[in-house]
Amino acid sequence: MKFSSLSLLLVVACVGFAPLAQADDAMIEEGRQIAFDRKKGNCLSCHSIAGGEVPGTISVPLIAMQARFPDKEVLRQNVWDQTQFRPHAMMPPFGKHQILTEEEIDKIVEFIHTL
């Protein structure tokens, strides 16, 4: 009884996750576009990012993001408002000041976390 409900759960989980995995790729691509859009994330004005042209030199290159942010949520909080961790941080508070929507931030974080 116990075993069969566990298998059922697994089946549900697999069926449930398959479309989600596909959505992630699309989400990452959307996140990339938002990140590179001058009127949205405009991340390249300060950060160099693989695949992005003429980056600025204001801040650190966005590399090894999973090593730097094992917890994706912490990365998201930094994009949302970095001054909560470093009062003098220069990066615009993309969430707090509604520069991007919460949904756009989710997408951008998915993209940045792949770098």
Partner 1 sequence: MISRKVLAWSASLLLAGLAANAGAESLDADVSPKKDLEAIQKFFTEKFPEIAWEDFANGTYALNEAWYENWLLIEEFPPYEIAIANGEEMWNTPFANGKSYADCFGEPGVQHHYPRWDKEQGQVVTLALAINQCREANGEEPLKYKKGPIVDILAYMAYESRGQIINVVVPEDEPGALEAYKKGREFYFTRRGQLNFACAHCHFSMAGRTLRTEPLSPALGQATGWPVYRSKWGAIGTLHRRYTGCNKQVRAKPFEAQGEEYRNLEYFHTHMSNGLPLNGPAARK
Which residue, 44 or 75, has its beta carbon nearer to partner 1? Answer: 44
* Using rule CB under 8 A, residue 5 touches partner 1: no
* Using rule CB under 8 A, residue 115 touches partner 1: no
Which residue, 72 or 99, has its beta carbon nearer to partner 1? Answer: 99
**H or E element that contains 102:** helix 102-112
Paired tokens of 112: 């940045």
* Using rule CB under 8 A, residue 63 touches partner 1: no
Q: Smallest gap, in angstroms, from Cβ of residue 106 to partner 1?
A: 20
Distance between CA atoms of 106 and 73, rounded to whole angstroms? 10
* Using rule CB under 8 A, residue 10 touches partner 1: no
Interacting span for partner 1 (CB under 8 A) from 9-17, 28-36, 52-60, 69-77: 52-60
Distance between CA atoms of 82 and 28, rounded to whole angstroms? 22
Query: In this structure, which amino acid lies at residue 70?
Result: P
CA-nearest of 103, 98, 89, 85 to 46 is 89
Per-residue contact flags (x/-) with partner 1 for residues 73 to 102, judged by CB under 8 A = ----------x----x-x-xx---xxx---
**Where along the sequence are the contacts to partner 1 (CB under 8 A)?**
44-46, 54-58, 83, 88, 90, 92-93, 97-99
